[in-house]
Structure 1
Amino acid sequence: MKPLLLIVSLLFSTFAWSAPKSELWPYWNQSNEIHQEQISHQDWQQFLDRYRVKQGQNALVRYQAVSTEDKAKLKHYIKRLEQLNPLNYSKAEQYAYWVNLYNAVTVDLILDAYPIKSITKLGGLFSFGPWGDDVVVVNEKSLTLNDIEHRILRPIWQDPRTHYAVNCASLGCPNLQPDAFTSDNTEPLLEQAAREFVNSNKGVLVTNNKLQLSSIYQWFAVDFGTEQQLLQHLDLYRTQPVTNTHKISYDYDWSLNQANERSR
């Protein structure tokens, strides 16, 4: 059994450090800019208001406190988004749609499996998390979380701040924002998310003569550019400029972003 466990462990390690490439799914790269109707994300906002709490630098979710009624409401919200055709809306409206759908589905997956210590425990035997599983059907097309992030959001909008918007239910991930994304608040919310993460210890940690960055900057280096461009990006949001760049390490905490009942 030990050799098998070793092989499984190595496979998990490989999955953990292999980030999907940004590869456009052309079908989703169309919109109706004349259509100015907005999609309601009020149900998701109500969930955030009730169950998202801030503790130190982390935004946590009170998974254990979510009522049966609110679990059903979350599923209904996801189902309602599935039944919409996002291509009928503007690109700005679509961005909010995809980010909120991604985050709501992620929370829903955790709730279905709860109690669980990490999202990486979801998925099949040889899977590192649920990101490759079909989770929603939009326009009769099955989509995974990877599809939403790496085949729609990243290649269409080409905005590195998207990494601060989508949440993977882990302590190492940029915080789940307090507001549902909308076409009106996307820009300030992205700026807020970026500033919050870059100034947190899980984003950028400078200690003595060492610089520790989130593994996000390693996994998705292609989105942030060269090392110099990355440092410029960080300094754009940092209250203190990044220093000690000659010794850079990367770290990520996959522990569940779970709040206890005292974190209210």
Structure 2
Amino acid sequence: MPTETSIAKLNQFIRWGSVAAILIAVLVIFRTLPINLVTSAMNEWIGGLGWWGPIVLVLLYIVATILFVPGTILTLAAGAIFGLAVGTIVVSIGSTVGAALAFLISRYVAREKVAKLAEDNRRFAAIDRAIEEGGWKIVGLLRLSPALPFNLQNYLYGLTPIRFWPYVFTSWLAMLPATFLYVYLGHITGAAVSADRERTPAEWAMLAVGLLATIAVTIYVTRLASRKLNEQVDQDQRDDTETLNEPKPTEDPNTRRTFALAGLALASVLFATYVSMNSERIKQTVTGWFGPPAVESTESHDVNPAGPSIDHSLLSELLASHVQEGGWVNYEALRDDTGKLDRYLSVVASAPWDKLGRDEKLALLLNGYNASTLKLILDHYPVQSIKDIPAADRWDAVRWNIGGNTWSLNQIEHEQIRPHFKEPRIHFALVCAAVGCPPLRREAYDADRLDEQLEDQTQIVHDHATWFEYLNGDNELRLTKLYDWYGDDFTQAAESIPRFAASYSQPLQRSIDSDQTPTITWLPYDWSLNSNLNRQPR
């Protein structure tokens, strides 16, 4: 028959194994799912709210706390979006205010319902008496211990004798360690999936050391609080048992927690397995929610060789003067030439859209997009990245006149170009003013040479490691995330993404011809401004 000591050791072994399984499952899930799209979308939305962003997240946290919705996702999001300092402040305010409101609801609005919920819980009765004797100290220990779920605690405290302000202050202080831990995890996650730039090994080491230290301190404080709390509460439970002449419960609460943790670990592993086996389908779904919209590319415009032509020479002069080899832009000099850029945008606006042929329209859209992006940067210059511009003023701002039609940059790309031209090479011609974007050509696109220019531009992209690299020995294909974001556009033109890319790489073509399927990895996408100040090897 197993002894209590052997059972305790088995419980401990299962708990630690369960924690390890949960951590591995979480890593698999984060590595498999396109978390960067979700984070980027939330960042876009909240970041676009300006100083309202933190306030909105605080309000969301308060509502989630009152409605018993776990705040873990919001806490992780706060860390990923706002960083450690602001993220911790936002979550701390939201969780504390939410806890205070739940306390007041329990004490003054829904006391009978909450009391009915707690009346059969013998452990709560013991906690109630412990709080009556120990006051805020017991509340602090409970906040640091996983003895009761956070959202449930908020309501149950309203039934206890503790006063409001000691409860609020103690809750705020005791929740800080776990708050900081989850914000830190969110910060790490945001750093891991961020495509802004590739972090150095030293930066990753510092982040990892800080995370491990935070976890260690949190675990230590939690275990210490749990031990002290059990000393207080278990004594009250024993007194209850003796008073009622009932035998001491034979089921160890630690065993119950062990089974619960093991169940959570099993669920996490099963979910991680499902995600891994269905990664592509899930990725397509999530991309549809948060990424560029999926479109079915068709050729919608007539060739119309007899139609009018547009003179793009003004843009060619600007690009030749202010764009250096490799696509680096001298924005300071371009700012002094804003008048010429404005005159060219007037030419774009006055173009007879309905009379233009297919190639004239595509050249107009490509040039109009790139010229409008340059104007957008100049309107907010100096900026370190196009993402520094408020979201409302950036890709969704309906302000750019193309042939008498006022569109946003997103509308130009996703509504006017992608659905109406079966031409995936446009993704290497549209330039969003970032280092990770394809290089800006030193000439405008011209309808008479459009196919030649697009082919040359696509080849340039595949000749540089910033966007394309095929490691023949490892059969690894490293691609710009443009292929990831717009995968359907490329597969509509070729059987697969590797086959499209192979058109511009003989080693990759030979590998595919020999029935070798390369492993695809995505290159970091640097959103730093494509200025000559950020010039680097391509």
Q: TM-score, normalised by structure 2?
A: 0.43
Residue of structure 2 in register with 1:199 after alignment: 463
Larger Cα Rg: Structure 1 or Structure 2?
2
Deviation at 1:61? Answer: 0.5
Distance 1:31 1:138, change over 3 A: farther
Aligned pairs for 1:166-177 (under 5 A) are 166-177=430-441
Does 1:39 pair with 2:317?
Answer: no
- Aligned-partner residue type, residue 489 of structure 2: D
Residues 152-193 of structure 1: CA deviation (Å, up to 9, x unaligned): 111111211010111111111111112211111101100001
- 1:80 matches 2:341: no
The aligned residue for residue 62 of structure 2 is: none
Residue of 162, 165, 172 corresponding to 2:429? 165
Choose the corresponding residue for 2:384, options 117, 125, 131.
117
Say which is worse superposed, 198-207 or 86-95, in terms of deviation. Answer: 198-207
The answer as to whether partners of 2:479 and 2:522 remain within 8 angstroms in 1 is yes
* Residue 186 of structure 2 is aligned to residue 186 of structure 1: no
Q: Name the counterpart of 1:6.
A: 79
In 2, Cα distance between equivalents of 1:160 and 1:82 = 25
Mapped contact 1:132–1:145 kept (Cα < 8 A): yes
Name the structure where strand makes up a greater proportion of residues: 1
Contact 2:365 2:402 in 1 (8 A): no
Alignment of 1:12-23 (within 5 A): 18-23=290-295
Q: Does 1:51 align with 2:322?
A: yes
Instruction: Tell me: CA distance 1:138–1:239, structure 2 relative to 1, closer, same or farther (3 Å).
Output: same
In structure 2, what is the Cα distance between the partners aligned to 1:246 and 1:32? 39
Contact 1:171-1:254 within 8 A present in 2 as well = yes
The alpha-carbon deviation at position 228 of structure 1 amounts to: 5.7
- Measured in 2, the distance between the counterparts of 1:261 and 1:233 equals 30
Does the C-alpha gap of structure 1 residues 232 and 37 become closer, same or farther in structure 2, counting only changes over 3 Å?
same
Residue 36 of structure 1 aligns with an amino acid whose one-letter code is G
Query: Counterpart of 1:245?
Result: 518
CA-based RMSD: 3.4
Aligned counterpart, 2:419: 155
Q: Distance in 1 between matches of 2:519 and 2:399?
A: 42
Q: Is the 8 A contact 1:202 1:214 kept in 2?
A: yes
- How much does 1:7 deviate? 6.5
| Amino acid corresponding to residue 503 of structure 2 in structure 1 | L
Provide the residue aligned with 1:215 in structure 2: 481
Letter in 2 for 1:190: L
Once the two structures are aligned, what percentage of the paired residues are identical?
A: 25
The question of whether the paired residues in 2 share the 8 Å contact of 1:100 and 1:180 is answered with yes
Tell me the distance in 1 between the aligned counterparts of 2:303 and 2:461: 33
Q: Is the 8 A contact 2:315 2:344 kept in 1?
A: yes
Counterpart pick for 1:64 among 312, 332, 335: 332
Q: Secondary structure at the match of 1:21?
A: coil
Cα distance in 2 for residues equivalent to 1:39 and 1:33 = 14
Retained in 2: the 8 A contact 1:30–1:87? no
Counterparts in 2 of 1:70-109, with a 5 A limit? Answer: 70-109=337-376
Q: How far 1:141 moved relative to its partner?
A: 3.9
Structure 2 residue identity aligned to 1:257:
N
Partner of 2:528: 255
Q: Report the residue type matching 2:360 in the other structure.
A: E
CA contact (8 A) 1:52 1:62 kept: yes
Distance 1:101 1:262, change over 3 A: closer
Q: Are the equivalent residues in 2 in contact too, given 1:51–1:61 (CA < 8 A)?
A: yes
Alpha-carbon separation, structure 1, partners of 2:483 and 2:303: 33
1:32/1:59 CA distance change after superposition, 3 Å: closer
Query: 1:140: Cα distance to partner?
Result: 5.5
- Residues 66-88 of structure 1: per-residue CA shift (max 9 Å, x gap): 253x2111012112211223121
Call closer, same or farther: CA 1:230–1:97 in 2, change over 3 Å.
Answer: same
Deviates more, 1:70-79 or 1:222-231: 222-231
Is 1:123–1:133's contact at 8 Å kept on the other side of the alignment? no
**Structure 1 residue 260: Cα displacement:** 3.7
User: How far has the Cα of 1:48 moved from its partner?
Assistant: 0.5
Q: Answer 1 or 2: which has greater helix percent.
A: 2
Q: Distance in 2 between matches of 1:131 and 1:30?
A: 25
Matched residue pairs, number?
Answer: 254
Q: Secondary structure in 2 aligned to 1:212?
A: strand
Change over 3 Å in CA distance of 1:123–1:236 after alignment to 2: same
Q: State the Cα deviation string for residues 205-251 of structure 1 (Å, max 9, x = none).
A: 24573432111010001011189621121111125327682252342
Cα distance in structure 1, aligned partners of 2:399 and 2:521: 36
